Amino acid sequence: MKVLTKKLLLCLSFFGTAPLALFLCFYFFVFSQKGQVLGEARAVIPAVVSSNIFSGLADNTGAVAPVIISGEAVPVVIEKYLTHYQSPLLPFKDKILQSAERYGVDPRLIVAIAQQESNLGKKTPEGCYNAWGWGIHARGTTCFSGWDEAIETVTKGISRDYCSKGYCEDPCLMMKRYTPRSNGSWCAGVNQFLEELQTGNF
């Protein structure tokens, strides 16, 4: 009788605890799998965002807001921009970046002005290498011996004559000195091209 009772108790305890043990095993298994998936997702998301710097992010209304390009990505964006527009300045992208750093000018401003003035160097006086409308006056147009000299001279001049006086912060303010006869189209164009270079949407 005692043996039977003991066996009965063992059976009851087994069937009573087995479901709980199974539930706990299932719960911890699902939890660990979920954590692994989330970990993988966290690892993938930054890679996707960093490799697709030209994408937008949806806000709460569902509209896509432009992503502002970080400083580290500026050289990549400038190269893609010059490539996209088949600019003769493409082989001199490093010169633009180096001169801009040397004189404390945003390289995107140098590129945006070149886009506004000459379609990135594709529409310039023959043999002048002047993509920025630099030094154009009644006596004629300033010419340079090559793109290297042009980029260096123009960047230095913009730094000295405009950025040091705070004009580079606002193309509309800069326009009043850079091209005072403009009806506002210069400012609008430079702002548009700066936005393209800042967001990568071009």
What does the pLDDT average to over 103-114? 98
Report the domain count for the chain: 2
User: 149 and 91 in one domain?
Assistant: yes
99 part of a folded domain? yes
Write out the residue range of the structural domain in which residue 142 sits: 71-199
User: 188 and 150 in one domain?
Assistant: yes
User: 124 and 183 in one domain?
Assistant: yes
pLDDT tens for 172-194 read 999 999 999 999 999 999 999 99
Kindly indicate the confidence band of residue 140, based on its pLDDT and cuts at 50, 70 and 90: confident
141 part of a folded domain? yes
56 part of a folded domain? no
Contact 83, 200 (CB under 8 A): no
Kindly indicate the confidence band of residue 136, based on its pLDDT and cuts at 50, 70 and 90: confident
C-alpha distances (whole Å) from 155 to each of 101, 146, 186 are 10, 14, 18
Contact 135, 141 (CB under 8 A): yes
pLDDT at 175: 97
pLDDT tens for 60-70 read 444 444 455 55
The mean-pLDDT minimum among 39-43, 73-77, 91-95, 143-147 falls in 39-43
Residues 142, 144: Cα–Cα separation, whole Å = 7
User: 152 and 84 in one domain?
Assistant: yes
- Identify which has the larger pLDDT, 65 or 73: 73
User: 142 and 174 in one domain?
Assistant: yes
58 part of a folded domain? no
Long-range contacts of 186-191 (CB under 8 A, 24+ apart): 186/116, 189/115, 189/116, 190/109, 190/112, 190/113, 190/115, 190/116
59 part of a folded domain? no
User: 47 and 77 in one domain?
Assistant: no
Does residue 73 carry a pLDDT above 70? yes
Does residue 170 carry a pLDDT above 60? yes
Please name the residue that has the structure tokens 């002047």. 130
40 part of a folded domain? yes
pLDDT at 23: 57
65 part of a folded domain? no
User: 83 and 43 in one domain?
Assistant: no
Residues 58, 13: Cα–Cα separation, whole Å = 55
pLDDT tens for 9-54 read 555 555 555 555 555 555 555 444 544 433 433 333 233 223 333 3
What is the pTM (predicted TM-score) of this model?
0.67
What does the pLDDT average to over 110-131? 95
Does residue 159 carry a pLDDT above 60? yes
Give the 3-state DSSP-derived string for the chain, with helices as H, strands as E and coil as C. CHHHHHHHHHHHHHHHHHHHHHHHHHHHHHHHHHHHHHHHHHHHHHHHHHHCCCCEEECCCCCEEECCCCHHHHHHHHHHHHHHCCCCCHHHHHHHHHHHHHHCCCHHHHHHHHHHHHCCCCCCCCCCCCCCCCCEECCEECCCCCHHHHHHHHHHHHHHHCHHHCHHHCHHHHHHHHCCCCCCHHHHHHHHHHHHHHHCCC
